[in-house]
Structures are given as structure tokens and as C-alpha cells.
Structure 1
């Protein structure tokens, strides 16, 4: 199959997602599936939370147009359905954190036990010896699944940010799949890129606020699909990339979640309590506009993904890649700490975007 067919399927996913969002907006308002302003929220009007539903439906329909074997991905769709349903219920009724975690753990178990996408090893992290997980493979896989899903959810605090960072990871994974001749995976990732762009048309507008949000349904769906491929590409004797490369491709959400949890734990608070400790909050509070903050975050994500891909193709030893990632993480942490002094202050009244 030619790659142009993948592009056609991606475009189909884009238009289906966009059309669904346009038609679901009034329905969402009617059934009160909206995110209301208040508290720490920056939007001024109730905003429909139907981006995730539209992306999932667009993804499912567009994948069916691919002439590739889909049987190995039954668990991917099963886990995604569970997360989207629970996500919609949470967006509408505010489910407990326990309910969300149960759904995420269930999706991780489906991925590992049914889909066979399992973190059996962590690569050659510190030596020439492969770090085999053995009996820890399933719990570590579930932990990674829950971690990536929640990292995607927690970074969704600024118009266009979560979807843009997800697109960076998708693009990098597409390059890895293309270079490794993973045809089926490349087609599915192309469709995922298309539906994410279809959502961004309504979430990241040139003028005015977002018309829709992805909601928990969207962030959990995207996070699950990402972790599926991040794990699948790093395992087996014919792996497409090293596990350390996966860290670089999903760097910003991971680093943001890590530094937020560390800050909250140091203050004796729950890792999931509300505050303005996220990277995008710190940059905005330091004086950047929303657009500047988005550009800075996406720029860092692109730099990290480029470093990961360069290390992968140049066969840089995995311990060096791990050390580089930890150094990059420390640099961001130091930069955030000193952001108020590094970024020239400006009147908040002029933050019109």
C-alpha cells in the first residue's frame, strides 16, 4: 500500500472529526456536557467537552479505511472505548479519581494481557546488560500506562497545548515507524495525527477562545494510544527504538508531571490537588502570554523529540541517552525556578490572546 493512501485516511479522519465537533457542539450545550468557568479556569464561557468523543469516532472510522491487518489492535480499541466512556461520564458528572484509575488500570491490563504490548524490559539502561523485568512486567506496564494517560491529562491546561504536544510525539513515532518499515503502525499513527489536527482547528483558534475542549475522554484516549505505541516500539528482538528514546519523544508531559508531583509532595499535598505548578502556569505567571507559552512548550518538545531521534539514529548508547534526558529535565526545572527573573515582566492587561 502506498503512503498516499495513509494520507487519504488521515485526511478522512481530519474531516470526520471536524464535522462531528461542529455538529456535537449544540448537542453538548443541550445536555450540559460543558466545562464551566470559575476558580483557576481561564475561559470565560461554558465550553463543550466533546473533542475526545469526536476524535475517537473519527479515529475508529478512518482506521477502517486502511488496508492493513487490524486484528493485533483489538485491545487498543477495547481499551480506548473503556477510557472514552469513563471520560465522558467524568466530564459530565465528575467521577471520583478512583473510578478513573480503575478504568486506566483496566486499559493497561487489556494492552498487556490481550494486546501483548508489554514492557518486558527497560533496555540497556546502565550497562551492556538488558534490564529484564520478569514478574514485574505487567505491573510496570500498567504503571507506565496510567502515567502516560495522566501526564497527557495534566498537561491539558492551555488552549492547544495538550493536542500540540501529542502531535509532536505522534510525528516522531511516525518517523520511527517509517524508518523501521512498520507499515501498519505508520498508517494508524497517520490517522491519529489527522484526528488530532481536526480537533485543533476548534481548540486552537487564531482569534478568540477555544470552541471545544478534549475533556478527560480526549486526554485519556490520546494518552492510551500514545503509550501503546511507545511501549510496542521499544520491545522485542526487532524493536524499532530503545526505551530511553521513548522518554525523549514524550518528554514535556513527563517532565511537567514529574515536577508537579515533586512540588506537591514537598508541600505535603496530594499529587492531584489543584494549583498553578504546571510548566505552562509558571511561564504565564512569569510574564509570557498564552501564545508565547504555547510556542515555548512546543519548541521544547520539538527539541527533545529531535534529540531523541538523533540519538536513536546515531546509535548513541542508552546510558548516555538516559543521562541526557535527566540533564534536560534538570535544566527545565532550573529554568522554571528562575523564570520570573529570566522573563521580562509585562502588564497582564495586555495579555489579550
Structure 2
């Protein structure tokens, strides 16, 4: 029976979120808690932004109902941290929260989970020649990882289905690995998150009248959960010695997180090089490049998630390499793909400008002709 609990958690989380989200949508419209279109958004009408409420409730209900079957020592600190970010996200989605206050909240949550929950990276597994890490450097480096990944996941939530699609991919991958290694408690949590995200995805991508966005309420909570699962994935595989344990877990974790990590690194580097704040909002993210190439939201999301899955496959193919060469090869592959997209999008943008310019000139000439005809008629 215990072996089936992870799959049951998926069903419970999916069903709960699927039933809760329409209620959230109705309330959001009644109270005008919606995201109005502007020059930075790609939607054309007001859409509720509290989809994270349905995700969090679905995950929490499934996890709490089934928690009695397993002992998860990190569960209390994880749920508390998710609750803190949940309320921070709600405030930001409704009233707008300053970046400094969000950062303070993230630091607090990162400290709670690394210090109280003891979820931290304890070894670099030979990356740059570093293996075991002393306690406090382990705490500080883990806190940095939490804050960086929470924000990275938050930043990819820019088009329909991208953040939730990535969350489903990462949660399912980690969940399957935990299940194979016999860590059913963490498999249960991962499948619960995947179920809640899948229910949200149906409304976010395929909803018309009942469309909803994840908002910071969902992306912050998702980022925290994925980061926690990532560190557990690395530590569990490092401690395992069975036939299914993975001896290149850090590199594999990077490949699973390729979409948010490398997109954030690229965008932050460009902003800093241009003398801007790394948090300055713009349309340089990889999903913006896809839209510029003419792909729809659904197509862009499908391509990017498929590419992320392919990068995981490439990581497995590079398994024989030393861990440092493994990571360098992964970085080379990912940055090459991003560079290709960037060049294609620039060509598409310049082509659109060249097409738009003659049209504009033609419109001006038509206006001049109209004015001259009106002038002749008056005279």
C-alpha cells in the first residue's frame, strides 16, 4: 500500500486544485484581483493572478492527508517556508510588494529550511575539486542556492504554461528518482506538486473564460519546493550505493534546472553589461525570444520544455565524463542553444522592422493624398 501513496498523492492534489481554481477565478473577478494588459504583458484581457492559491492548497491537502504514512523530517520546515512565501506572493499579487521585502522573506525562508530543516548541500561531489563542505559554509551556500533558484523560477513565469510545465517536468523527474531509490516520502511530495501543477496548467493554457495566471503566489512556492527537492536529490544520491543511484547527481540537477538557471544567468549578465539592475524588467527572457520568432504561447512552452527534457537526456549521455568536464559540456550545449535562439530572434525582429517601415511610409503617403484631395474639394 505504501508504494502506491505517491501516485495517490498525485490524484488527490490534482482533484483538489482542479476544483479549487474555478472558485479562485470567480472571487478574483468579483474583487477585481486581475492583471490588466500593459506594454510588458502578452495577454489582451484582464486575467486573475492567484493561480498559486489552487496549487498550494492542492499540494498541502494531498501532503497532509498522506503524511501519516511516512516520516519526513524536513516536512514541517518545508511547509512553513512555503506558507511564508505563499502569503508574500498573495500580497505581491494583490497590493505589490517591494523587491527588498520579497528578498528579506526569501532569506528568512532559506535560513529556516537550511538551518531548522537541515536541507542543505553537504558536498560539491568533486566540482572544482571540492567535496565535503563545513557546516556554516554549507548553510550559507545552500541559502544562496535557495534564493537564486526561487527567483529564477519566478522569472520564467512569463508565458502560458512555462513555469508550471517546467515544475511538472522537474517534480516528476525527481519524484521518479526518489521512488526508484525507495524514498517514497519525497516521491509523494513531488507527485503531489506535479498533480497540483497539472490541474493549474489546464486552466492556464486551455482556459478561455476561466483562464488564470500562477502569479508570485505560485511561482515563489514552486521555486522553493523545486530547490528543496533538488538538494534532497543530490544528497540522497550521494548517500546511495545501489544499482540505481546516480553518481553525477549535481550535473543532472543542473540539467533539470537548465531552463530557469541559464535563462536567468544570461538575462542578468546582459542587464549588468548594459549598466542596469539585474532585476530591471525587460523582454530579454528566452520565452520573449520565442514569441519574437513568431511562436504562440503553447508552441513556445512546448519547445522550451522539450529542449529542457533533451538537455536531461544529453546529461545522461555525458555520464562517462569527469564531473567538471560534464558540467562544462552541459553549459556549452545550453549556451549554444540560447545563442542560436538569440540570433534567430534578432533576425526576425530586424525583418519585421524592414516590413513595417514600408507599410508606415505607404500609410503616410495615403494620408498626404487624402489631405490633398480634401484641400482640392474645399477650394
TM-score, normalised relative to structure 1:
0.90
Select 1:271's aligned residue among 267, 275, 278.
278
The C-alpha deviation readout for 1:179-221, integer Å capped at 9, x for no partner, is 322111111111111001011110011x748711111010000
Q: Which residue number corresponds to residue 49 of structure 2?
A: 49
**C-alpha distance in structure 2 between counterparts of 1:211 and 1:152, whole Å:** 21
**C-alpha distance in structure 1 between counterparts of 2:173 and 2:279, whole Å:** 29
**C-alpha distance in structure 1 between counterparts of 2:178 and 2:105, whole Å:** 29
Q: Which residue number corresponds to residue 351 of structure 1?
A: none
> What is the deviation of 1:106?
1.0
Contact 2:262/2:335 (8 A) holds in 1: no
More displaced, 267-276 or 209-218? 209-218
**C-alpha distance in structure 1 between counterparts of 2:299 and 2:197, whole Å:** 21
Select 2:99's aligned residue among 97, 101, 108.
97
> What is the deviation of 1:283?
1.9
Structure 1: gaps (5+ residues):
349-353
Select 1:85's aligned residue among 68, 84, 87.
87
Q: Which residue number corresponds to residue 71 of structure 2?
A: 69
Q: Which residue number corresponds to residue 339 of structure 1?
A: 344
> What is the deviation of 1:117?
0.4
In the TM superposition, 1:70-149 aligns within 5 A as 70-127=72-129, 130=131, 132=133, 134-149=135-150
In the TM superposition, 1:201-240 aligns within 5 A as 201-205=202-206, 208=208, 211-235=211-235, 238=239
**C-alpha distance in structure 1 between counterparts of 2:194 and 2:286, whole Å:** 24
> What is the deviation of 1:69?
1.7
> What is the deviation of 1:250?
0.8
Q: Which residue number corresponds to residue 180 of structure 1?
A: 181
**C-alpha distance in structure 2 between counterparts of 1:191 and 1:94, whole Å:** 29
Q: Which residue number corresponds to residue 375 of structure 2?
A: none
Structure 2: gaps (5+ residues):
357-379
Q: Which residue number corresponds to residue 4 of structure 1?
A: 4
Determine helix, strand or coil for the equivalent of 2:127: coil
Contact 2:25/2:210 (8 A) holds in 1: no
**C-alpha distance in structure 2 between counterparts of 1:245 and 1:42, whole Å:** 33
> What is the deviation of 1:269?
0.7
Contact 1:250/1:305 (8 A) holds in 2: no
Superposition RMSD in Å: 2.3
**C-alpha distance in structure 2 between counterparts of 1:217 and 1:154, whole Å:** 13
**C-alpha distance in structure 2 between counterparts of 1:132 and 1:52, whole Å:** 35
Determine helix, strand or coil for the equivalent of 1:124: strand
**C-alpha distance in structure 2 between counterparts of 1:151 and 1:208, whole Å:** 28
Contact 2:35/2:48 (8 A) holds in 1: yes
**C-alpha distance in structure 2 between counterparts of 1:244 and 1:131, whole Å:** 17
- Structure 2 residue 304 is the aligned partner of structure 1 residue 304: no
> How many aligned residue pairs are there?
344
- Structure 2 residue 21 is the aligned partner of structure 1 residue 21: yes
**C-alpha distance in structure 2 between counterparts of 1:333 and 1:159, whole Å:** 20
The C-alpha deviation readout for 1:46-78, integer Å capped at 9, x for no partner, is 211221111111111111232222443110000
TM-score, normalised relative to structure 2:
0.84
The C-alpha deviation readout for 1:224-270, integer Å capped at 9, x for no partner, is 00000101221275156522221111111111111110111111111
**C-alpha distance in structure 2 between counterparts of 1:139 and 1:329, whole Å:** 27
Q: Name whichever structure is richer in helix by fraction.
A: 2
> What is the deviation of 1:168?
1.2
Q: Which residue number corresponds to residue 333 of structure 2?
A: 328
Contact 2:124/2:132 (8 A) holds in 1: yes
